[in-house]
Amino acid sequence: MIDDVMSTAKEKMQKSCAAYERDMMGLRAGRANPQLLDRIMVDYYGTPTPINQIGNISSPEPRLLVIAPWEAKMIPQVEKAIQKSDLGLNPSNDGKIVRLVFPELNEERRRDLTKVASKGAEETKVAIRNIRRDAVDQIKKMKKNSEITEDDQKDAEEKIQKMTDNAIKDVEAIYAKKEKEIMEV
């Protein structure tokens, strides 16, 4: 029973870290990264479809993304989806491909992006601590119902705390990596 609580808590903590890391991949850091487009949906014959499923995305230069839709008539929809997104980029096309030029980030914008990354890290840490609290509550309930001994309870709580500490270290490492990437000129 304790193992179930521990494995569930560990799985939830890992999912929280993975979600934060995915969010950070979508945060623009001055470099053209095809993953920035992962969450953009294009209206593909009435069905919202991820942009990476309607064409090839490449980065021939550090500040340029090129989207080559498999169907040329999808270019206007791709442009419209990018303009509606929160990327703040203006796409251009030549009838066959869509180009996205990433402007150089100024110092103020870099600071704003690090604040966004920091806020996300804090929210993820709070989520991890909530997972810890729920797991510890379940362990205490088991002790109260005489399903486990006091020693088992203490051991389990210590293991849950270690898992929490490791998950928070992971989040901080992801944030530090993203902050370095953002502040790099």
Chain segment 28-41, per-residue pLDDT in tens: 666 677 877 877 88
CATH number of the domain at 120, please. Answer: 1.10.132.20
Average the pLDDT over 143-167 and give the result.
91
Q: What's the total number of domains in the chain?
A: 2
Single-letter amino acid, residue 149: T
Looking at the predicted structure, is the pLDDT value of residue 185 above 70?
Answer: no
Q: Are residues 110 and 96 in the same domain?
A: no
- Angstrom distance (rounded) from CA 138 to CA 6: 10
Q: Are residues 176 and 118 in the same domain?
A: yes
Residue 16: how many CA atoms within 13 Å on its side-chain side?
28
Structural domain boundaries, residue 13:
2-25+106-183
- The whole-number pLDDT of residue 173 equals 93
Q: Domain boundary residue among 51, 76, 101?
A: 101
Q: Are residues 119 and 156 in the same domain?
A: yes
Instruction: Give pLDDT tens digits for 93-152.
Output: 888 888 888 777 778 878 888 888 899 999 999 999 999 999 999 999 988 888 888 898
What tokens does 14 get? 């890992």
- Residue 35's nearest CA partner among 23, 43, 17 is 23
Q: Domain boundary residue among 101, 119, 141?
A: 101
Q: Are residues 93 and 110 in the same domain?
A: no
Q: Domain boundary residue among 85, 101, 117?
A: 101
Q: Are residues 62 and 112 in the same domain?
A: no
- Angstrom distance (rounded) from CA 69 to CA 51: 9
